[in-house]
Amino acid sequence: MDSAIIDPIDPIEPVLTKYTLNEEQEKKEIIRHYRALLRSLRPKLKKGDKEMVRQAFEMAANAHKTMRRKSGEPYILHPIAVAMICVEEIGLGVRSTICALLHDTVEDTDISLEDVEMEFGTEIAKIVDGLTKISNVIDTNISQQAENFKKILLTLTDDPRVILIKLADRLHNMRTLDHMKQEKQLKIASETVWVYAPLAHRMGLYSIKTELEDLSMKYMESEAYRNIARKLSETKRERTRYINEFIRPIKDKLNAGNFDYEIYGRPKSIHSIWNKIKKKSVAFEEVYDLFAIRVILNSPPEKEKEDCWKVYSMITDEYNPSPERLRDWLSNPKSNGYEALHTTVMGPQGKWVEVQIRTKRMNEIAEKGLAAHYKYKEGNSDEDRFDQWFSQIREVLSTQDTDGVDFLQDFKTSFLAEEIYVYTPKGEIKMLPTGSTALDFAFSIHSAIGTKCIGAKVHHKLVPIGHKLRSGDQIEIITSNKQKPSEDWLNLVVTAKAKNKIKDSLREEKRKIAEDGKYILQRRLESFGAAYSHYNIEELVQYYKVNSSLDLHYKIATKAIDLREIKDFQLLGDKIEIPKPKPIQIELPSDAAHKSVSKKDSELIIFGESSDKIMYNLAKCCHPIPGDDVFGFVSTGKGLVIHRNNCPNATQLLANYGHRVVKTKWAKNKEISFLTGLKIVGLDDVGVINKITNVISGDLRINISGLSIDSKEGYFQGTIKVFVHDKEELELLVERLKSLNGIQTVDRFETETTSGS
């Protein structure tokens, strides 16, 4: 192939200019488009087909004769263009062409479904009916996307061609969106990237999916789109030179091997380049794989795999491959039929280049999806992945009687039986196994995000980390630097990556904490003359009924084992004898006025109502309030400091200074108020502040210290500082606020705390 680089669409110039033809010119233009359609359809025409297509064209032309598009052009040019996409880009045949020509007639003109059935038969009438059902739901306001998706999926029980024609219709609308008002552009573009692009991907229409994403980005993120498009245009000559240099030695090898082939470079889509720029936080110039080299072989069916691997071998003999970037979809095709070998190799000038290897049959399936799949399947009665997929859809639909959002939620997992497709907050699609959770999604983005995940928002609604994801979900991961993986996380994930990273993190964390425990134990044994020996460690392992010395050290460090009793151990030579633990007396610092704590009273009661009170300070690192699980810590110079058990410093204090820790609990005292804070997230609505303050000050009579609300894109985020007497009162307030309409999350956060003594 002579041209070294192929650009799928011109990314900068609009497809249409303002329409200015007179009536005679318009008729000629319509006939010209119609004849072009017939030429494309010619290889598929059988006896009588041409007359049926002509009949459909005339019916549509007459029905739409008074109608014009926003560009000013005759409306009939739209159904002709949709039919052309069906034939040329999706590979559909005569009946689909007729349906495409008629797809808007029942909805927009006086023609009825009965008229279509009478002229063209039941099969075509059912497809037109399916297309009409989808169109009718586009402009509804309630659960628009959910209802729209439902209507699309329902048509699968009748004929999958409905979806393919609808995708062609959407593609042409996106190509001609320049003439719409901006708010309409944004609405259609967002719906396209949300519903239609993933649908095209699932139907195997990769080129259409890519173009839909690019065109959506053109209107939703126009500045970024134009910048990348301009840079692609500016670098086209340079890329062409580089591709020619890259493919020259490969061509020589392919020619020497007598392969029948095409080879060319294709730019990555603007949308995928933009995703890479955002994901990796790099500039356009730093995105190394701006294009892919595609090798298409003309091989007989029985030699397809063999030839693809031979070519792979030739390419990797010439250029060093990146082993982790090999994608083998020959051995195990994707569930939508996609087959190919992908590899990334180090090309000239130290640049990574992606190379895709496939045969003409595979390429047609990759470009034309389902239609090509059925073409190559003729004569083969085996049920394949597409057939299984449709069977599952029919099964779910046959028992599904709910509507709207309920239908969508129940249906999505079955719709994508083998993988699910979910979205990042920026709209990037992620493919995960069915049954994946928010935690799987977090690890799929990055292991550092996974290990710090504390929750997620699905469609802006807060969900736990174990929430099972469904296709179409848009997920935002919430992280905290305080979060660490725990053992039960392994029951919350299905992906191998997540499981391995959790196990690694648990092992590393346990070893790290155990080191502290080992040091504490060593110091404690030495303090009364016992050796830190293998025998003594084994004695302690048995005494505390743990599995290993690692577990012993870990439990000592996490305060699950209390070593204060070790001072009562007996020494027998170099061995220790461990008696039953005895209660010990707790000592408070001399500068604190305190009540005596006997062996029988090992808990210090603070905020008691007797005159005999304890002087204390509340830790600034965790701001406890009455009702929190707390411990006292004897701090040098500060007296007794009260910490929450889940304080970020608790592990370190308990592990290293166990002898200075005092068991502590609260006594009820309604005379003292404590300042604490709440973070509230919800829908931005008129009167939302009034509703919140009514609950706090009016209903619960809690004093407000401060309130701030920030609104953005229909949501608000607020912080409220309030004085409460105890945790019970705070929890009541949280529950009352959560019950308000539009409030999504109410969470406690740390703030400066004041208290009485």
Would you please indicate which residues are annotated as catalytic (active-site) residues?
Answer: 107-108
Candidates 406, 463, 411, 418; CA nearest to 437 is 463
Cα separation of 667 and 662, whole Å? 16
Asked whether the beta carbons of 367 and 296 are under 8 A apart, the reply is no
Q: Which two tokens mark 560? A: 């699950």
Greatest Cα pair distance in the chain: 115
DSSP letter string over 264-304? EEEEPPHHHHHHHHHHHT--GGG-S-SEEEEEEE---GGGH
Cα separation of 207 and 368, whole Å? 8
Cα separation of 121 and 132, whole Å? 17
DSSP letter string over 203-249? TT-HHHHHHHHHHHHHHHSHHHHHHHHHHHHHTHHHHHHHHHHHHHH
E strand or H helix that includes residue 17: none
Cα separation of 676 and 722, whole Å? 6
Candidates 457, 134, 224; CA nearest to 216 is 224
Candidates 666, 628, 623; CA nearest to 648 is 623
Return left, alpha or beta for 253; rule: phi > 0 is left, psi -120 to 50 is alpha, else beta.
alpha
Q: Is 460 exposed, middle or buried (0-12, 13-18, 19+ CB in 10 A)?
A: middle
Which residues, listed in sequence order, are joined to residue 353 by a DSSP beta bridge? 345
- What is the bridge-based pairing of β-strands 575-577 and 570-572? antiparallel
Cα separation of 388 and 404, whole Å? 25
Q: Which DSSP category does 474 fall into?
A: B
At residue 544, φ and ψ (nearest 5 deg) are -90, 5
Candidates 286, 323, 229, 237; CA nearest to 12 is 229
Tally of CA atoms within 13 A in the half-sphere of 699 that contains its CB: 15
Cα separation of 606 and 612, whole Å? 10
Cα separation of 686 and 691, whole Å? 10
Rg of the chain over all Cα atoms, to the nearest angstrom:
35
Tally of CA atoms within 13 A in the half-sphere of 304 that contains its CB: 16
Cα separation of 710 and 342, whole Å? 47
Contacts of 70 (CB under 8 A, 6+ apart): 179, 180
At residue 478, φ and ψ (nearest 5 deg) are -105, 130
Q: Is residue 320 classed as helix, strand or coil in its secondary structure?
A: strand
Lookup result for tokens 């926003």: 70
Candidates 451, 427, 460, 462; CA nearest to 502 is 451
Cα separation of 181 and 70, whole Å? 9
Cα separation of 350 and 160, whole Å? 46
Q: Which two tokens mark 269? A: 């889509």
Q: Is 431 exposed, middle or buried (0-12, 13-18, 19+ CB in 10 A)?
A: middle
Cα separation of 589 and 579, whole Å? 29
Which residues, listed in sequence order, are joined to residue 717 by a DSSP beta bridge? 681, 710
Asked whether the beta carbons of 101 and 83 are under 8 A apart, the reply is yes
Contacts of 590 (CB under 8 A, 6+ apart): none
